[in-house]
């Protein structure tokens, strides 16, 4: 399954010509397997509402049920974000909620499961001093320190404005000990990234992000005192735009008789690739 929407999250209502089997979602990007409990079967078909982020894709795999399978019907209330109900590795029912409030679900069309959540803390913004290293192998070596992240195209330094390659952002942040509870999941939200970012927390690789939302699970890497490294890589386009301003040293008469390939924004208007990172930590609780 693939959500072709380039900007918005969507819920895809899918119907599969399968009955009597248990659906799972396999995430090829992370390797995560999600055992579903929110689906219906009727007239030889299995119907599933699958929430997917923009440009996200998953495999839907059906397996033979070895035991009686748990099914959940969520009762929406109070405009709270919908929880995610799944089974863990021991096939215990679990719910992941994203905001404080009261949640009710019907389990196996009989049992009411009520969840009262009041201890999810507010998001923590990571801000302060950043060190940005531009690499010699990408034809510009420099280290700058800043307390405010910026779009490279706004830089007064031409080598940064037209830099193409990987720049390494590093900073530190703290998490209160009381927040690091075993029933919580922590997501690092990078905000806007152009084009791709690899993230390390305390030296541990927590993933690579190239499509929105740029959020990575950092639960297993977090401590009270943390070091954050983000390796941001953009496209060669940015260097080509800078080179286009240079004098023609080829002795050829370069003319553009055709539009050429790709977006006009990156061919003739000297538009720079947007670069910037905003970082907010989001907390989730599994009950």
Percentage above 70 pLDDT, the chain: 87
Q: Which residue has the higher pLDDT, 20 or 249?
A: 20
Report which of 222, 112, 225, 237 is spatially closest to residue 164, judged by C-alpha positions: 237
90-130: pLDDT as tens digits: 888 999 988 899 999 999 988 888 889 888 888 888 988 99
Long-range contacts of 219-224 (CB under 8 A, 24+ apart): 219/184, 219/185, 219/186, 222/175, 222/180, 222/186, 223/175, 223/180, 224/174, 224/175, 224/176, 224/177, 224/180
What pLDDT is stored for residue 257 in this prediction? 54
Q: If residue 117 lies in a helix (H) or strand (E), which one and from where to where?
A: strand 111-117
pTM score > 0.85 for this model? Answer: no
Which DSSP letter does residue 57 get? B
Q: How far apart are CA 107 and CA 188, in angstroms?
A: 32
58-67: pLDDT as tens digits: 999 999 987 7
Is the pLDDT at 282 greater than 50? The verdict is no
**C-beta atoms surrounding 116 within 10 Å:** 10
What pLDDT is stored for residue 225 in this prediction? 95
Length of the chain (residues): 287
169-212: pLDDT as tens digits: 999 999 999 888 888 889 999 988 888 999 999 999 999 998 88
- In a 13 Å sphere around the CA of 143, the CA atoms on its Cβ side amount to 4
242-270: pLDDT as tens digits: 888 888 776 666 555 555 545 555 544 43
Q: Which residue matches tokens 């990571």?
A: 126
3-state SS assignment for residue 60: strand
219-234: pLDDT as tens digits: 999 999 999 999 999 9
Distance between terminal CA atoms of the chain?
28
Is the pLDDT at 277 greater than 70? The verdict is no
Q: How far apart are CA 24 and CA 35, in angstroms?
A: 5
């Amino acid at each position: 399954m693939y959500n072709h929407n380039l900007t918005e999250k969507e819920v895809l209502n899918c119907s599969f010509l399968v009955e009597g089997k248990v659906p799972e979602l396999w995430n090829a990007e992370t390797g995560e397997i999600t055992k579903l409990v929110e689906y219906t079967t009727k007239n030889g078909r299995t119907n599933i509402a699958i929430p997917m982020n923009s440009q996200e894709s998953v495999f839907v795999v059906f397996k033979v049920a070895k035991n009686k399978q748990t099914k959940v019907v969520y009762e929406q209330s109070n405009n709270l974000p919908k929880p995610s109900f799944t089974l863990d590795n021991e096939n215990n029912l679990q719910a992941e909620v994203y905001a404080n409030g009261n949640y009710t679900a019907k389990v196996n069309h009989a049992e009411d499961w009520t969840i009262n959540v009041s201890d999810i803390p507010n998001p923590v913004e990571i801000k302060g001093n950043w060190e940005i290293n531009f690499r010699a192998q990408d034809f510009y070596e420099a280290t700058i320190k800043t307390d405010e992240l910026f779009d490279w195209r706004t830089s007064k330094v031409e080598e940064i404005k037209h830099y193409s390659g990987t720049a390494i952002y590093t900073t530190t942040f703290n998490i209160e000990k009381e927040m690091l509870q075993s029933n919580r999941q922590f997501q690092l939200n990078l905000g806007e990234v152009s084009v791709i970012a690899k993230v390390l927390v305390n030296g541990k690789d927590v993933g690579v992000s190239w499509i929105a939302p740029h959020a990575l699970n950092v639960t297993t890497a977090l401590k009270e005192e943390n070091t954050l490294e983000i390796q941001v890589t953009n496209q060669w386009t940015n260097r080509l735009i800078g080179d286009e301003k240079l004098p023609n040293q080829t002795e050829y008469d370069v003319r553009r008789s055709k539009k050429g390939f790709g977006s006009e924004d990156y061919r003739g208007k000297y538009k720079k690739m947007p670069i910037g990172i905003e970082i907010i930590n989001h907390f989730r609780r599994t009950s």
